[in-house]
Structure 1
Amino acid sequence: MCIVVTVVATAIIFPLTVVAAIITLDPGASVWVVRLLWSPVLIRAGGARVVVTGQENVDPKRPTIYVSNHQSTLDIPIHFVTVPVNFRYVAKHQLKYVPLIGWYLWIAGHIFVNRGQRDKAIASLDAAARKIRGGTSVFLYPEGTRSDDGSVLPFKKGPFALALKARVPVVPITIEGSGKVMPKNSWNIKPGPVYVRIGKPIDTTAFAEDDREGLARAVRDVIIAQSLELGGKGGDSEQAVAAAGVEGEAPSRRNAS
């Protein structure tokens, strides 16, 4: 039933995002349509009861990079609702080719990154940094994939290169419970609570311009601490950074295998 509601809601609301962008001549208007209409429908269909804390750390007037762990497909609509900022997602370039969802992401000006090609990935991050310095906030999932068991996976360093290029604050966000409501690679819905905790901004100017790993560890440590506070599994603080070209896996673990 949930997937039917998702498909129908997407098919109906997608044209509205296009109309909003055309009428206002502002692609960002489509983000508000998604936040106010599409996201609540999907959250209700998924059976999630969302509890959010820390919204005082969200400043719509300040360009910011929002970073969260990733447990479920539901995370996307939940974050649209709980982080009331006209942000853009940084998404895998493969999503560009998904009917309706990909079209929406393109029209709304969300940022696609081709992780498989280094030159294109760097160009995408440079473009994103320019957009952020121009006043646009972005949202990303540095694990690069959804966690199978709810633990916080190692982070890719690329997103933090973006943060250091843009020199804007990073706000760590922890989501807990969405993986139980809608597990990865499953439409087996189990209604329940989902907790979102928004941490205090981390000042990127306190890090050297090339200290991607240091910033990644600092942000991840906050997300792990918040996960534990919310009753989650936290994560291995030593396995902080993912192996090059690999999502959700640290170098030592990969080498050992």
Structure 2
Amino acid sequence: MAKIISLFIYIVMFIPLMIIGVLFIVSGMIFPSRMNSLARLTSISVLKCLFVKVKINGKIPKNRSLIIMYNHSSFIDPFLFAYSSPGKTTGITAIENYKYPVFGGMLKRWNAIPIDRTNIETAKKSIEKGQQAFKDGYNVIILPEGTRTVTGKIKKFKKGGFHMAINSKAPILPVGSKGAFDFKPKNRWYIKPGVVELNIGKIIEPNQYDELGVNGLINEVRSQMKDLTGYKLEE
């Protein structure tokens, strides 16, 4: 049944989804100051077209800039991030995502920061851009696993985002996404419409960084994500 529903959604919703993407790109050019509202509205529209219901448990503070770290499990993750993050928001995303015509255009219009994981020097520059975005008052979304999980377990974390937090003295907010993997994991073609829960964790303040160090900070965020999602940690 899930496969039949998936075929229906893929066929019937393809054109509306493309139209939504193009409208976001064009409206973002006309109303750049309203980018975050447009991103949220677009994300709501995309998720509704895919029959995804989002439940947010907790609140992301609106009165301060944060580095928000999510676990990465599905192609719908970027829309979940834009849907849930208040205020000015950007994120660091794999440069490969820009090869998709409409989706890549949406990322550019959202001012997402591309990162090439195969090139250390350009990756460092992407991290520096993320630090500057935080200083400019943006929330910066980081996916510390780097790529989507294929097992459902939380993967080992890359260190770049944590160095960025330490260097810019930015507080980290872990958020656990539960249900996106069940909706559509990387290695399955069909989808299972349903509920995705976004569980907001506890902010880790910069004054804890000296005591924790990079590895301790990684362990703290992974531990929170495990508790927030109920998923196991990949060894």
TM-score range, shorter chain: 0.7 to 0.9
Q: Which residue is 1:50 aligned to?
A: 54
Call closer, same or farther: CA 1:163–1:87 in 2, change over 3 Å: same
Residues 175 and 197 in structure 1, CA contact (< 8 A), matched pair in contact too: yes
The percentage of counterpart residues that share the same residue type is: 24
Please show how residues 79-118 of structure 1 align to structure 2 within 5 Å: 79-118=81-120
Q: Which residue is 1:41 aligned to?
A: 45
What are the superposed Cα offsets for residues 150-186 of structure 1, whole Å, 9 maximum, x if unpaired?
2111111111111111111100000011111122254
Please show how residues 22-33 of structure 1 align to structure 2 within 5 Å: 26=33, 29-33=34-38
Task: Give the superposition deviation at 1:209.
Answer: 9.5
Q: Residues of 1 paired with 2:64 and 2:211: CA distance?
A: 21
SS of 1:207 mapped into structure 2:
helix
Q: Which residue is 1:124 aligned to?
A: 126
Call closer, same or farther: CA 1:210–1:133 in 2, change over 3 Å: farther
Aligned amino acid, residue 37 of structure 2: W
Aligned amino acid, residue 40 of structure 2: R
Q: Which residue is 1:172 aligned to?
A: 174
Q: Which residue is 1:254 aligned to?
A: none
Which of the numbers 18, 23, 40 marks the counterpart of 2:29?
18
Aligned amino acid, residue 100 of structure 1: V
Task: Give the superposition deviation at 1:122.
Answer: 1.1
Q: Residues of 2 paired with 1:156 and 1:42: CA distance?
A: 29
Q: Residues of 1 paired with 2:101 and 2:35: CA distance?
A: 16
Choose between structure 1 and 2 for higher RCO, CA contacts under 8 A separated by at least 6 residues.
2
Q: Residues of 2 paired with 1:40 and 1:107: CA distance?
A: 17
Residues 92 and 126 in structure 2, CA contact (< 8 A), matched pair in contact too: no
Provide the TM-score with structure 2 as the length reference. 0.87
Call closer, same or farther: CA 1:209–1:116 in 2, change over 3 Å: farther
| Structure 1: runs of 5+ lacking an equivalent | 240-257
Q: Which residue is 2:4 aligned to?
A: none
Provide the TM-score with structure 1 as the length reference. 0.80
| Structure 2: runs of 5+ lacking an equivalent | 1-8
Residues 63 and 132 in structure 1, CA contact (< 8 A), matched pair in contact too: yes
Call closer, same or farther: CA 1:209–1:128 in 2, change over 3 Å: farther
Task: Give the superposition deviation at 1:6.
Answer: 2.5
What are the superposed Cα offsets for residues 3-54 of structure 1, whole Å, 9 maximum, x if unpaired?
6042232123321122111xxxx3xx22321211x21122112222211101
C-alpha root-mean-square deviation of aligned residues, in Å?
A: 2.0
What are the superposed Cα offsets for residues 94-147 of structure 1, whole Å, 9 maximum, x if unpaired?
233432322332233221222211111112212221221221111111111111
Please show how residues 177-216 of structure 1 align to structure 2 within 5 Å: 177-208=179-210, 211-216=213-218
Task: Give the superposition deviation at 1:71.
Answer: 1.2
Call closer, same or farther: CA 1:11–1:106 in 2, change over 3 Å: closer
Aligned amino acid, residue 31 of structure 1: N
